[in-house]
Amino acid sequence: MTSAQAHDGETASTSAAPAAAPSVAQPEEGRSGVPVIVWRLASFALFFAVWEVMGRIPFSLALPPASDVFAALAVMIVDGELARAYGSTVPPLLVGVAITIVGGVLTGLLMGLSRLFEWFVLPIMVILQTAPVAAIIPLLTYFYGIDARAKILAVIILGMPLVTLNSYKGIRGTSPSLLDMSRSFLGSRMQTVAFVILPSASPMIFAGLRLGVSGAFIGIVLAELLITPTGIGDTITYNRGIARYDKMFAAIVSIIVIAAVTLALLQSLERRLFRPEQKAA
Amino acid sequence: MPAGPAASPLSTETPMSEQTTAPATSSATGPAAGGAPAARVRDIAMWYPGGVHALDGIDLDFPTGKLTALLGPSGCGKTTLLKIVAGLIPPSGGTVEAGGATVSAPGPDRALVFQDFALLPWATVLDNVAFGLRLRGVGRAEREATARHYIDEVGLGGFESKFPHQLSGGMRQRAGLARALAVNAEILLMDEPFSAVDEQMRRKLQEDLLSLLQIEKKTVIFVTHSIEEAVYLADQIVILSRRPGRVSKIVEPDLQRDGPIENIRKDSRYVEMVDDIWDGLKQFVE
């Protein structure tokens, strides 16, 4: 059998001959032929335009126009107010996120690989995931006072169940046929976990990480609003108190930007590490 | 059901060296006339939890260097039997022997080809074909050289760096076949390998499989629900009854296999045999 034989009558879904790969570097395009990035920018533009109009009517004194908010954001960056606020927000956030990621993925792995661990941990995770956490977080003060540990714990409580449950579902979702394949080709348990189960679960694990990191940002802000008036949460509360709504919204916008950038970095890390086929056309 | 010849189970012959490719002449000599079978199952029974009785009293020899088709209505336990021979599921009763040794787990003498291809979607064709060797600890350079050889042999040359989702169904199964060949097992276990591709591609794959087997000389156990496929490919066809699966009949298509492969379908005995088997199978189909 020659390779020429295989090609006739058999067309790959890409219909591209392997030697003559077409230029893959074309920008993503939507159905209408307009690059996707244009639609995304249009979405942002529309959002801020509506905001600007509402602010100028004015709809409420507590909703300054978008332009004022961005001006305030620039001022806060220049005079160091934001940097000072994040100085006390970021360290507990990072510690909390690190524990959330490592602990969450490990717990999810163990749950996915061991029935006993699954029975033991699943109820706890479901309780944590469904509990009204905002009502519980102020209680952390009783354990840790207004220590950074309270913030870290708030981050973990909001982030970890999402990471754990997604990792667990991803691992359980591994195709039985791939597991049979690995076993029939003499893969050990460790090899099957490393070469089959983990890459197969990685989209779910990373989806969990994205949700978990979003949860962690909510956790840190909740903790700073509800327990320890420091950091970016305090910036929000303080400026709301003195009716500087432009600065308050600027602080919120800064959190959104930082969270969005973190999530985008996570996504590119995943593609690089586990799923090279998502880059191929 | 012919009783298997009393060949020594501890035969030391190497299946690869056997080249008894003369067309199966008469059923009087029995399927294993060429020597000890590459694999045999004795009194295999299978009950699934919940009381499903899948297989009952299966006694079979799989002659060395021959292709045995397991044919039967859906749900008759053909795939279960294949997975038992593969060592993936333990039978509820009975024994499996391959190469003279009792089988209780997957081994280097058996390689599987899967109905759904079972390719790693995140790995290239090259990495998929080399996967079995990687699990065995073969170094990268060596396993990739071996993989490239079999990729060429199954007609996938030039597609080494493609991912499975970039290939058609037929090409994916070529990769699955190359992966099974790459580990150089004596026995190929194929689970309805061509059922997920379209009719024309299936005919092409069947023809290519036969020419490949003329080079590779494997013992093949081939699960199928297609009578035509079984008659076209097999040296021995085992017809299983409906659940619980029992061996209902064993036939040996007496077709001219040493000539050009295209001639098999033109052989008048091919058509007769397909009709015969269908007459026997009808009773099991609702």
pLDDT in tens, A140-175: 877 777 778 888 998 998 899 999 999 999 999 999
CB contact under 8 A, B132 and A178: no
Q: Cα(first)–Cα(last) distance of chain A, in Å? A: 28
The nearest alpha carbon in chain B to A280 belongs to B163
Q: Of A143-157, A266-280, B78-92, B105-119, which gets the smallest average pLDDT?
A: A266-280
Percent of chain B with pLDDT over 90: 38
The residue whose two tokens read 């709301």 is A240
Q: What are phi and psi of A40, to 5 degrees?
A: -65, -45
Q: According to the model, what pLDDT value does residue A191 have?
A: 94
CA closest to A199 among chain B residues: B122
Closest CA to B238 of B196, B280, B187: B280
Q: Quick one: which H or E segment has residue B74?
A: none
The answer to whether the CB atoms of A180 and B88 lie below 8 A apart is yes
- Pick left, alpha or beta for residue A115 (phi over 0 → left; psi -120 to 50 → alpha; otherwise beta): alpha
Residue pointed to by tokens 């021959």 = B66
Q: Please, how many CA atoms are within 13 Å of residue A111, restricted to the half-sphere of its CB? A: 26
3-state secondary structure of B262: helix
Residues of chain B positioned with their CB less than 8 A from the CB of A10:
168, 170-171, 201, 204
CA distance B85 to B144: 28
**pLDDT value, residue B248:** 81
Half-sphere exposure at residue B89, Cβ-oriented, CA atoms within 13 angstroms: 19
Measured between beta carbons, the chain A residues lying within 8 angstroms of B120 are 178, 195-196, 199
> Which residue in the set B115, B135, B163 is minimally distant from A186, CB to CB?
B135
Q: Is A10 a residue whose pLDDT tops 60?
A: no
Candidates A17, A181, A281; nearest CB to B114: A181
List all residues 6 or more positions away from A265 whose beta carbon is below 8 Å from its beta carbon: none
Per the CB < 8 A criterion, the answer to whether B225 and B74 are in contact is yes
Flag whether pLDDT at B26 surpasses 90: no
B123-182: pLDDT as tens digits: 999 999 999 999 999 999 999 999 999 999 999 999 999 999 999 989 999 999 999 999
In whole angstroms, give the CA distance from residue B109 to residue B197.
28
What is the sign, positive or negative, of the torsion defined by CA atoms of B109, B115, B121, B124? positive
Which pair of tokens denotes residue A88? 């006390």
pLDDT at A8 over 50: no
Nearest CB to A1; choose among B136, B153, B200: B153
Task: Give alpha helix (H) positions in B183-221.
Answer: 199-216
| Mean predicted confidence (pLDDT) in A75-99 | 92
- Rounded Cα distance, B205 and B200, in Å: 9
Of B107, B135, B201, the CB nearest to A10: B201
Q: B163, A280: Cβ pair inside 8 Å?
A: yes
Q: Does A196 touch chain B (CB under 8 A)?
A: yes
Radius of gyration of chain A, Cα coordinates, nearest whole angstrom: 24
User: Taken in order A274, A276, A277, A279, is the CA torsion positive or negative?
Assistant: positive
> What distance in Å separates the CA atoms of residue A13 and residue B2, rounded to the nearest whole number?
47
Q: Which of B83, B165, B183 lies nearest to residue A185, judging by beta carbons?
A: B183
| Sheet bearing B247-251, strands edge to edge | B110-113, B187-191, B219-224, B67-71, B236-240, B247-251
Q: Are B169 and B196 in contact (CB under 8 A)?
A: yes
Q: Is B218 exposed, middle or buried (0-12, 13-18, 19+ CB in 10 A)?
A: buried
CB < 8 Å to A17, chain B: 158
- On whether any CB of chain B is under 8 Å from the CB of A271, the answer is no
Using one digit for the tens of pLDDT, what is the confidence trace for B207-230?
A: 889 888 888 889 999 999 888 888
| The pLDDT of residue A15 is above 70 | no
Compute the distance between CA of residue A191 and CA of residue B252 in angstroms, rounded to an integer: 41
**B175 to chain A: closest CA residue:** A6
Distance (Å) from the alpha carbon of B172 to chain A's nearest alpha carbon: 10
Residues A196 and A91: their CA atoms lie apart, in Å, by 35
Tokens 């989702």 -> residue: B165
Q: Which residue of A has its CA nearest to B162?
A: A18
Residue B223: which H helix or E strand, with range? strand B219-224
Give the total residue count for chain A.
281
Q: Which of B136, B170, B200 sits opposite A186 (nearest CB)?
A: B136
Each residue of A20-59: pLDDT tens digit? Answer: 334 444 455 556 677 888 888 999 899 999 999 998 888 8
Please tell me the distance in Å from A185's CA to the nearest CA on chain B.
5
What residues in A contact B164, CB-CB < 8 Å?
A: 277
pLDDT tier at B245 (50, 70, 90 boundaries)? Answer: confident
pLDDT at A127: 85
Residues of A in contact with B155 (CB under 8 A): 1-3, 5-7
Residue from A181, A201, A182 nearest A192 by CA: A182
CB–CB contact B116 A177 (8 Å) = yes
Residue from A3, A181, A273 whose CB has the most chain B CBs within 10 Å, to mutate? A181
Query: DSSP letter string over A41-90?
Result: HHHHHHHHHHHHHHHHTTS-TTS--HHHHHHHHHHHHHTTHHHHHHHHHH
Testing the interface with B: which of A15, A185, A275 to mutate, by most B Cβ within 10 A?
A: A185
Burial environment of residue B107 by CB neighbours within 10 A (0 to 12, 13 to 18, 19 or more): middle
For chain B, report the end-to-end CA distance as a whole number of angstroms.
24
Contact B118 A181 (CB under 8 A): yes
Say if pTM beats, i.e. exceeds, 0.80: no
Percentage, residues of chain A above pLDDT 70: 86
* Cα–Cα distance for residue pair B223/B111, rounded to 1 Å: 14
With CB atoms and an 8 Å threshold, state whether A3 touches B155.
yes
A–B: how many Cβ contacts below 8 A? 116
Cβ within 8 Å, pair B120-A9:
no
pLDDT value of residue A276: 67
